Structure 1
Amino acid sequence: MKGIYSIAQESQHDSQYLMGKAFLEQADIQIEGSRPWDIKICHPGFFKCIMQQGLLGLGESYMDGWWECERLDIFVYKFLSGQLDEALPTHLHDILKFFSAKLLSIRSDESNFKRGHNDYEIGGDIFAVMLDSYMQYSCGCWRQASCLNEAQTAKLDMMCEKLQLTPGMRVLDIGCGWGGTAEYMARHYDVYVEGITDSTEQQKIAQARCEGLNVTIMLGDFRDPFDDQFDRIIALGTLQNIGLKSYQTFFEWVANCLRPDGLFLLQSIGSGQLVNHIGPWINKYIFPGGCLPSGEQIIHSTQLYLHIEDWINLGEDYDKTFMAWEKRVNTAWPELRHHYSPKFKRMLDYYLCSCAGFLRARKLNMWEVVFSRNDAKKI
């Protein structure tokens, strides 16, 4: 195999190479440069691939080892800040229109990440090393934190304070994951928590985690009949899984489950544009059928049922969270690499670093919104 430098030398007079070189330099990205965000071309078909296939080609060519970059997160940030995304045949900003990526559905071979000839879903080993002790697969709060555990604990405290939790309250956790949020609220705020998940594996883990606490973990989702009402409701990263057509149904269901004086906290990745689909790379490898809300869509879908009490953007915090996840995965990879292919690892790096880059360039936001019922007395 020819080295990176040899391929670049042979491509100097190729029109696609020269055009691609000039294209990237508009965003202060060099080919064969020495800076961490500069890229190295390892395959002569790289530029043709991205010009023909857009963002899908960009992601797949990285997975195939056609180009290298020491700091993918900075590369994506530079690319977007230079507005190069608007020049691709399929806009690059679609790459990360996602945010609660369901890695449990990812496979591990060249086509759909199967390992060998057997289906291989990601096990809990990656999540166990990537996430914090409370298994929070959502944004941390880094204002006074120096590590991931501190950031996620600060996020949980901030969320509980916004919800004004007091002992004895009934809390509904929609999409409760591995039960870390439910455990934290029950243990530190003495509330009763009911968690809902659509994963039998997560239900078992959450039940074991919350054993002995005033917590119930149920299997189901918001489409199931539900007659109870709660003092507080939370949904962390749930909205991206629902789909635009179900937004109003979801928020109406939340309002019906919320007591008249209750509060609902929503945390969701959001886009500044109206988006009802997800980019082809993310759709193929990370999040099939994903959809990101815009602020306008959230407001339109909630105005009949809920009143906005507070809305903040935690995009900078989520950028840092993704980079912390990437660092933890790479630190632990020597122990994990025997279970996953090199191509899978490149896919995981691309996902985590690209998300950070999009948040840093403010192409995506991380919103935390607190609602009350629109027929309730405002706080």
Structure 2
Amino acid sequence: MISLQQIFTKAFASVGVTINGDKTWDIQVHNPKLYSRIVGGGSIAFGEAYMDGWWDCEDVDEFLHRVLYHRLDKKLPRDINTAIYYLNAKFKNRQTLGRAKEVAYKHYDIGNELFEKMLDSRMQYSCGYWEKAESLEEAQEAKLDLICRKLKLEKGMTLLEIGCGWGGFAKYVTQKYGVSVVGITISEQQAILARELNKGLPVEIRVQDYRDVNEKFDRVVSIAMLEAVGYRNFRNYMEVADRNLKDDGIFFIHTIGGNYDAKTTDPWIDKYIFPNGMLPSASQLSKAWQGLFVLEDWHNFGTYYDPTLMAWLKKFEENWESIKHDYDETFYRMWRFFLCASAASFRSRKNHLWHIVLTKPVRLGIYQSVR
């Protein structure tokens, strides 16, 4: 009878990975019970086993890229708990008003210092634009510049930012373009830093759910927030944007997207990183805005998320000594696994980064796309 170790050895070998090999992407197994743990617990068990030190790999990102690119995760035995998890997500709204703040408690409120040490000076927690950039700082500034050019901003305009993070975009647009901003977040920690960063500027930061906003703005912007909305709420999300956007305005979305319609995210990501989140597909989004908006531009530069995440990983590892007093070794391994797995998902083109520009059908004129 073939053992689980033999099954995994053969599967990994098919993608160029040798168990306990000498290549940087070879997995080093420290506990022989790893294979049964994975079969019994799926992706949660695989990630937790790394957190517990059951296996190691110098280049976790490249190891996972090989697994994802060759769809090895779909070919190995799947546990019953994972199947039940996906089935529950199909019938349950996991992004209700009551559950919306879970991601803030679990992720964004774990400590501003961590993000300050990992991100660029403007604390942009989303994909940079690396077309001409040679550093994380340059890539994030290029991203902000690109978004503003797509928004066709003019002095005196009003802008609603759905999911304002730590306020870096709000500061950039007010200082460079002379617009006024209302930024909303569900994270108390983000709001504190965002208000401090934008002190003295025409920026109002609110701790508020996007569904509760009912005003009119020249521009509506959503950067790296749609991933938390959930497929059951995509239509409502578009209706909120429509309700708050003037007839001649522009609605801009910066979001990660997937190749297939989904109902939830990976179970490990859901448990440890982004609870209740999921990545939209192109068909899910286009259906959600049908009848509300006209598609003006759709720009995919998902491959740029790979160098963005690797730059975050480098800074996280370099600055770990200065922030580890608030965390433990398990957190360090969890966070490293998260960044590496995310980079692998973009490198393998399983995930993408989309810029979507929408306008109302009543808006006249031609929208000139920019890159």
Instruction: Show the counterpart of 1:330.
Output: 317
**Residue 365 (structure 1) shift:** 0.9
Distance 2:187 2:325 in 1: 26
AA aligned to 1:22 is: K
* Counterpart pick for 1:278 among 262, 265, 275: 265
Q: For residues 320-349 of structure 1, give each alpha carbon's deviation from its aligned partner in whole angstroms, at most 9, with x where no partner exists.
A: 111111110000011222321111100000
Distance 2:364 2:31 in 1: 63
Instruction: Show the counterpart of 1:69.
Output: 57
Instruction: Show the counterpart of 1:172.
Output: 160
AA aligned to 1:61 is: A
**Residue 215 (structure 1) shift:** 1.4
- Is the deviation greater in 321-330 or in 45-54? 45-54
Q: For residues 52-83 of structure 1, give each alpha carbon's deviation from its aligned partner in whole angstroms, at most 9, with x where no partner exists.
A: 22211111111111111001110111112222
**Residue 200 (structure 1) shift:** 2.6
Question: Percentage identity across aligned positions?
Answer: 39
Q: For residues 104-138 of structure 1, give each alpha carbon's deviation from its aligned partner in whole angstroms, at most 9, with x where no partner exists.
A: 5348xxxxxxxxxxxxx621111010111111111
**Residue 375 (structure 1) shift:** 2.7
**Residue 102 (structure 1) shift:** 8.0
Mapped contact 2:39–2:78 kept (Cα < 8 A) = no
Question: Given the alignment of the two structures, is residue 288 of structure 1 paired with residue 275 of structure 2, yes or no?
Answer: yes
Distance 2:68 2:187 in 1: 35
**Residue 225 (structure 1) shift:** 4.6
Q: For residues 271-327 of structure 1, give each alpha carbon's deviation from its aligned partner in whole angstroms, at most 9, with x where no partner exists.
A: 111101122111111111112211100000011211111111121111111111111
Question: Given the alignment of the two structures, is residue 36 of structure 1 paired with residue 24 of structure 2, yes or no?
Answer: yes
Instruction: Show the counterpart of 2:326.
Output: 339
1:85-100 mapped onto 2 (5 Å cutoff): 85-90=73-78
Distance 1:167 1:217 in 2: 20
> What's the RMSD between the two structures over aligned residues?
2.1
Mapped contact 1:148–1:324 kept (Cα < 8 A) = yes
AA aligned to 2:68 is: L
**Residue 222 (structure 1) shift:** 2.1
1:359-370 mapped onto 2 (5 Å cutoff): 359-370=346-357
1:15-54 mapped onto 2 (5 Å cutoff): 15-54=3-42
* 1:144 counterpart SS class: coil
Tell me: CA distance 1:268–1:340, structure 2 relative to 1, closer, same or farther (3 Å). Answer: same
**Residue 253 (structure 1) shift:** 1.3
Tell me: CA distance 1:14–1:225, structure 2 relative to 1, closer, same or farther (3 Å). Answer: closer
Instruction: Show the counterpart of 1:9.
Output: none
* Counterpart pick for 1:249 among 200, 222, 236: 236
Question: Given the alignment of the two structures, is residue 316 of structure 1 paired with residue 303 of structure 2, yes or no?
Answer: yes
**Residue 368 (structure 1) shift:** 1.0
Mind listing any 5+ residue stretches in structure 2 that lack a counterpart?
Answer: 87-100, 367-371
Instruction: Show the counterpart of 1:122.
Output: 110
Question: Given the alignment of the two structures, is residue 305 of structure 1 paired with residue 292 of structure 2, yes or no?
Answer: yes
Distance 2:183 2:78 in 1: 39
**Residue 263 (structure 1) shift:** 0.7
Q: TM-score, normalised by structure 1?
A: 0.87
Question: Given the alignment of the two structures, is residue 372 of structure 1 paired with residue 359 of structure 2, yes or no?
Answer: yes
| Equivalent residues, number | 347
Distance 1:19 1:89 in 2: 10
AA aligned to 2:221 is: I
Q: For residues 183-227 of structure 1, give each alpha carbon's deviation from its aligned partner in whole angstroms, at most 9, with x where no partner exists.
A: 00000111111111122322222111111112111221222151x
AA aligned to 1:361 is: S
Mapped contact 2:186–2:208 kept (Cα < 8 A) = yes
Distance 1:359 1:286 in 2: 17
Q: TM-score, normalised by structure 2?
A: 0.89
Distance 1:300 1:326 in 2: 36
* Counterpart pick for 1:161 among 126, 132, 149: 149
Q: For residues 18-39 of structure 1, give each alpha carbon's deviation from its aligned partner in whole angstroms, at most 9, with x where no partner exists.
A: 2211110011111122111111
**Residue 235 (structure 1) shift:** 0.2
Tell me: CA distance 1:264–1:90, structure 2 relative to 1, closer, same or farther (3 Å). Answer: farther
* 1:369 counterpart SS class: strand
Question: Given the alignment of the two structures, is residue 199 of structure 1 paired with residue 187 of structure 2, yes or no?
Answer: yes
AA aligned to 1:296 is: S
Instruction: Show the counterpart of 1:105.
Output: 105
Instruction: Show the counterpart of 1:208.
Output: 196
- Is the deviation greater in 157-166 or in 50-59? 50-59
Instruction: Show the counterpart of 2:95.
Output: none
